[in-house]
Structure 1
Amino acid sequence: MGLVESKRPVVLIVEDEFLLRMDAVDMIGAAGFEVAEAANADQAIEILESRPDITVIFTDIQMPGSMDGLKLARAVRGRWPPIKIVATSGHVGVRETDLPDGGRFLAKPYSPMQVTGVLRELTGGG
């Protein structure tokens, strides 16, 4: 058998809190997605610039650094329009209208079922 190119959707998780990021990586990986991770928006942009295979960005809204998750979402929509956006926060109420078109919001704490449900819906998988 030859090597099969991975066709699983790739989800970029952007979360500055290490333990929350690990949880999200485990949760999303267990759901059958390939995972990339970044600790902040700047790292996320670097990854997006080097990897054309990112399908969805799953970002926290409160993050230290030059951009929060909402700014990151707008930057991604501007530069990489096909990438789907899921934003999450435990502190601020975000309306879907605060996000670029098609962006989704999940309040923390979220359940694996909620996360995988939204990701499958956005990627047409599952």
Structure 2
Amino acid sequence: MPDAALIAAAVAARAKAYAPYSRFLVGAAVKDETGVVHPGCNVENAAYPQGTCAEAGAIAAMVLAGGRKIVEAAVVGAGDGLVTPCGGCRQKLREFGADDLAIHVCDETGRIKRSFTLGELLPASFGPENLSS
């Protein structure tokens, strides 16, 4: 069962996104290994593409708070299509999450359009364990 607080945090984060150029607001939230939810929003920059994605903001908030493992994530965006994490954010999620990490892709109201595992979005991925000897 998806965490309602996680999705609500992503919806609230989307409302605070800074996207004056694209007007494409995105919110995200990650839940860490202790159950704490960390939200993030996209932040654009006039020197495009120097902005940051919502997922990156949520991960940074988690790390700052001491979290080291993502156990569930949500991404919220508007439009008919799915607003899934970009390729770079899929790799960022992989740094802190396993193949079975649930990622809920939601519309702007928080309705889940589809849930994926990280393994589905980033198959045969490269992660920290690939560097261990």
TM-score, with structure 2 as normaliser: 0.35
TM-score, with structure 1 as normaliser: 0.36
